[in-house]
């Protein structure tokens, strides 16, 4: 039977991040689900896909980045580097309290962060991205075009998802500093991509680029007619969830170093994440 637990853990600065662990009583392995830029763990597609995975025997931690959703901290102090650090802290929390995640799943920028840090997380055996940019300069270019004041004065507001979002110069500089394509080209772990050629937010070529760059054991599932948030076609959610389950079972599920499955207490003890 699937259950959900609210958990908390610190980011690299000691600020409290909040997550939901969706799981059954005896998960075969654990996954980490990272959300998109300015979204949250409660995005409908993330919640529903996580539940499909949990019902299939995978423990899934979905969590809010610093300054978003229920997590503490100031969004204006965050950037892509802190997004990656939050992902690492979430993985360390799972390893500390349950088991290290064997699967990374990321939607949009959450998938880009997964590309960036996958090789740093040794227990991770497979990566799934959903409508994810293959570079971070795509986002900086979009933000700069949306409001030229950001580059001109170092701050500006951009409307994303029908709400204003404050964008700082440090965020823009950080986005421009990362070489995600090189990280994709150096992946040693299998990669599964989902994307729609009709995505209104992110061009389909980002996933075809990643598929081309990734050195083998990569697959792309095309979702015709889908939007960026997977909200307009109800059949997409079970398709994505069940496909992830079937695919990940090829690579994940065996014990890590002889470790036994962790107990499913809803512990939220706050211990610092290394810088």
Angle of helix 236-248 relative to helix 44-55, nearest 10 degrees, comes to 40
Secondary structure (DSSP) of the chain: --EEEEEEEE-TTSPEEEEEEEE-SS-SEEEEEE--TT--TT-HHHHHHHHHHHHTTEEEEEEPPTTSTT--S-GGG--HHHHHHHHHHHHHHHHHHS---SEEEEETHHHHHHHHHGGG-TT--EEEEES--S-SHHHHHHHHHH-THHHHHSEEEEEETTEEEEEEHHHHHHHTT--HHHHHHT--S-EEEEE-TT-SSS-THHHHHHHHHS-SSEEEEE-TT--TTS-S-TTHHHHHHHHHHHHHTTT--S-STTPPPPP--------PPP-
| Domain residue extents for the chain | 3-135+179-248, 137-177
Q: Which CATH class name applies to 3-135+179-248?
A: alpha beta
* Alpha carbon separation from 232 to 153, 160, 167 (Å, rounded): 38, 18, 29
Per cent of the chain over pLDDT 90 is: 87
pLDDT score of 215: 87
* Alpha carbon separation from 92 to 31, 32, 274 (Å, rounded): 12, 11, 9
- 209-226: per-residue pLDDT in tens? 999 999 888 999 999 999
pTM: 0.91
pLDDT score of 256: 65
The number of residues in the chain equals 275
pLDDT score of 257: 54
Give me the average pLDDT of each 10-residue run along the chain (275 residues).
93 97 94 96 97 96 97 97 98 96 98 97 97 97 96 95 93 97 97 98 97 93 97 95 97 67 38 34
- Sign, CA dihedral 121-124-125-130, equals negative
């Amino acid at each position: 039977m699937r259950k959900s637990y609210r958990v908390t853990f610190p980011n690299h600065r000691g600020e409290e991040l909040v997550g939901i662990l969706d799981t059954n009583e005896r998960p075969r392995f654990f996954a980490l689900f990272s959300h998109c830029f300015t979204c949250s763990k409660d995005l409908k597609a993330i919640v529903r896909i996580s539940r499909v995975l949990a019902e299939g025997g995978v423990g899934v931690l979905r969590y809010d980045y610093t300054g978003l959703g229920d997590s503490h901290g100031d969004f204006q102090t965050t950037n892509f580097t802190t997004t990656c650090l939050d992902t690492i802290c979430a993985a360390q929390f799972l390893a500390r309290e349950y088991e290290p995640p064997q699967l990374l799943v990321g939607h949009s920028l959450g998938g880009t962060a997964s590309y960036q840090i996958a090789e740093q997380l040794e227990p991770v055996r497979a990566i799934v991205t959903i409508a994810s940019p293959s570079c971070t300069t795509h986002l900086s270019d979009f933000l700069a075009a949306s409001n030229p004041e950001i580059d001109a004065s170092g701050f500006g507001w951009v409307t994303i998802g029908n709400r204003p979002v404050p964008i700082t110069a440090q965020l823009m500089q950080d986005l421009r500093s990362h070489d995600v394509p090189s990280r994709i080209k150096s992946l040693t772990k299998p990669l599964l991509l989902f994307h729609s050629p009709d995505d209104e937010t992110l061009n389909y070529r980002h996933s075809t680029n990643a598929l081309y760059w990734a050195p083998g054991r990569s697959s792309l599932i095309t979702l015709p007619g889908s939007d960026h948030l997977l909200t307009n076609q109800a059949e997409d959610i079970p398709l994505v969830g069940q496909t992830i389950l079937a695919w990940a079972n090829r690579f994940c599920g065996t014990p890590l170093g002889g470790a036994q499955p962790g107990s499913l207490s809803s512990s939220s003890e706050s211990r610092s994440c290394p810088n």
